[in-house]
A and B are shown apart, each in its own frame.
Chain A
Amino acid sequence: MTATLDAPRVRLRTKGKPGGVRIVGSLAVVCCYALCAVFGPMLFRFDPVAVDTRNRLLAPMSHTSAGDLVLFGTDQVGQDLLAKMMQGARVSMTIGISALLLSGLIGLVFGVLAGYFGGPLDSLLMRLADIQLAFPGILLAILIAAVLGPSVTNVIVVLSVSGWVTFARVVRGQVLATKRREYVDATRTLGARHWHIVRTCILPACRAPFLVIAALHIGDVILAEAALSFLGLGTPVTTPSWGTTIASGRDLLGTAWWISALPGIGLAVLVVAFGVLGDALRDRFDPKLAGR
């Protein structure tokens, strides 16, 4: 009886701040990917148009005719899949982070404007957000991508346009909760103008929820980029992102499963890591979950 009573109490005490292990673990995974994306292509020179037909479709862990070990195998034109994935990681993460920053910026600006000034502007922006939420995000992205055509910049634009709503909603909620706080009134009674209040009172309060949403969102963005590329609406074929690599192995799944499977697994692990990171950050920073 005592044991069952003591056990949770001890766990609570050692817990300290929630999600520490998960934050460190998922950050480590993300950092591995980031290192691979930054340094991988420097170590393994990747040439997107090189062809080496003697070594095509080698299975993972086999040796090329020159005797090199190919850890992840080769694809149908004999390119090293590991090098291709590292190059793909670079492209996918660049797109993910850029789209995240852009959509975060749009969402932050719209959210602060809507929440702080309220009134008709709030109604306008939030109805716009409602309309966009009612429309499937990937469908909207496909529509815009089809109109703009495939290029890295266009993918970033497309993903930002479809991703700002979550940021705007969360920021607006936080602004609404903050702007009626007494210290905002106190700042106002010292003669502060709107910009000063937004900068010193509103934005710092939005920081934690913004980070949480960003961590949860970046996985979605990278996944959406892969989906677009898979459908041929994302990055051009000459820029090997994970999506295009997966798509290129689609016809060979029966004979060379690794061309599609390994980038897919890589993608899944990164997205899960970001998801875990986002959840752990939310557990730590969301006051509604505190003390549970």
Chain B
Amino acid sequence: MEPLLSVRDLRVRFGAVTAVDGVSFDVLPGETVAVVGESGSGKSVTMQAVMGLLPRGAEVTGSIVYDGRDLLARPLAETRKLCGTELAMIFQDPLSSLNPVFRVGRQIAESLVRRRGASRKERRAHAVELMRRVGIPDPERRVDEFPHQFSGGMRQRAMIAMALSLGPRLLIADEPTTALDVTVQAQIMRLLADLRRETGMGLALITHDLGVVAGVADRVVLMYAGRVVETGTTREVYDHRAHPYTEGLLASVPDDGGRADRLVPIPGQPPNPLRPPGGCPFHPRCRYVVDDCRTDAPVLVELAGRPADHRAACHRPEAVGA
């Protein structure tokens, strides 16, 4: 199948800082891909590059091919045209991503009015319909409320309604559940999964929560210090982890391996982006470090005896999980 979104060798630099360093991944139509990593791993910057949201000072190289068109090679105005109709995005903090001065209903249906020529009278009906679709109770009343009158979960639902209003083929969700209560998180993830199934859109899910990933993602892309360290189908990566960072993340998720008493943290800190360590960026925190790791940066390669799409960037993948 032709990928819907194909990111190849993406590099983003802000002055002396390389935030994203040679990232490649694909999102197929109708597929959920989770991009996982801790703060500063470059996962959000990658998606901002796709949506053309990076500030002016950013240096972006590589290619971002959406549906056969390289977005980086074309003017930003063309990406803007795709935004909403083809690509859509929802953000981490649903309060700050809603405009505080307009009624929620108006914001939800605004792009229908602006892009599809819906009349202002139809706007309300569209908004109510979209709000019902994302499970906002009593939409006829809530359509006239302001964002501050909504709870966190309802705001995120409103954001999702807004993003879906033009029927995009790819939805990018930047940590959509981070700012929400745990119970609400589950509801929002279920809603996203349901909507993805209904519409057949691709979903790129940015998260740092492997617990979220396991339930919904078809494939995972694990990022560390601006690079992809491991990628593959979710099942494959969980069962046959081939990078020590993946192993560390899985060990720090509650309920993994049945050890309910203590979680195992990854020692140390993520590298300072101004002074990245030589060789493998993970080596100062790695249990399996050898001399090679300190000098040579490993590349993302297929693993012997595993499916072809399972790749890891490690000198000693066989040591992990052994």
Contacts and interface: CB of A to CB of B under 8 A. Distances in A.
B60 to A, nearest CB: 16
A181 B102 CA distance: 15
Contacts of A191: 80-85, 111, 115, 166
Interface in B83-133: 83-85, 87-93, 96-102, 110-111, 114-115
Given A118-B56, A190-B88, A196-B114, 15 more contacts: A183-B96, A185-B97, A186-B89, A186-B97, A186-B98, A189-B83, A189-B87, A189-B89, A190-B84, A190-B110, A191-B80, A191-B83, A191-B85, A204-B101, A205-B101
Contact of B88 (A181, A185, A189, A193): A189
By Cβ-Cβ distance, the 7 closest A-B pairs, closest first, are: A191-B84, A191-B83, A189-B89, A204-B101, A182-B97, A190-B84, A182-B96
A186 B80 contact: no
A172 B196 CA distance: 41
B54 to A, nearest CB: 11
B162 interface: yes
B166 to A, nearest CB: 7
B80 A200 contact: no
Query: Interface size bucket, B side?
Result: 20 to 34
B242 interface: no
A8 interface: no
Interface in B46-88: 51-53, 56, 80-85, 87-88
A190 B200 CA distance: 19
A186 B101 contact: no
B250 interface: no
A62 interface: no
A201 B85 contact: no
A186 B111 contact: no
A119 B99 contact: no
Given A189-B88, A191-B81, A193-B80, A200 B53 contact: no
A189 B96 contact: no
Interface in B177-195: none
A187 interface: yes
Interface string A154-192: 000000000000000000000000000111011111111
Interface in A181-233: 181-183, 185-193, 196, 200-201, 204-205
A193 B77 CA distance: 8
A201 B52 CA distance: 19
A153 B89 CA distance: 51
Among A181, A187, A201, A205, the most chain B Cβ lie within 10 Å of the Cβ of A187
B93 A188 contact: no
Contacts of A186: 89-91, 97-98, 159, 162
Nearest to A201: B99
B81 A187 contact: no
A119 B93 contact: no
Among B101, B102, B165, the most chain A Cβ lie within 10 Å of the Cβ of B101
A200 B165 CA distance: 18
B99 A190 contact: no
A190 B91 contact: no
Contact of A188 (B53, B110, B165, B166): B53
B51 A189 contact: yes
Determine the main DSSP class of A at the interface with B: helix
Contacts of B92: 182
22 contacts: A119-B56, A182-B93, A183-B96, A183-B97, A183-B98, A185-B91, A186-B97, A186-B98, A188-B51, A188-B52, A189-B51, A189-B83, A189-B163, A190-B84, A190-B111, A190-B163, A191-B85, A191-B166, A192-B80, A192-B111, A204-B99, A205-B101
B97 A190 contact: no
A188 B99 CA distance: 12
A189 B48 CA distance: 10
B80 A188 contact: yes
Contacts of A181: 96
A189 B54 CA distance: 12
Contact of A185 (B53, B56, B111, B165): B53
Contacts of B100: 183
A284 B165 CA distance: 37
Nearest to B48: A185
A196 B111 CA distance: 11
Nearest to B88: A189
A186 B98 CA distance: 8
Nearest to A187: B99
Contacts of A196: 114
B182 to A, nearest CB: 22
Contacts of A201: 99
A187 to B, nearest CB: 7
Contacts of B90: 186
Contacts of A204: 99, 101-102
B102 A200 contact: yes
A190 B102 contact: no
Contact of B83 (A118, A188, A200, A205): A188
Nearest to B111: A190
Contacts of B56: 118-119
Among A181, A183, A189, the most chain B Cβ lie within 10 Å of the Cβ of A189
Contacts of B96: 181-183
Contacts of B98: 183, 186
Given A183-B98, A185-B91, A185-B97, A190 B53 contact: no
Interface in B228-270: none
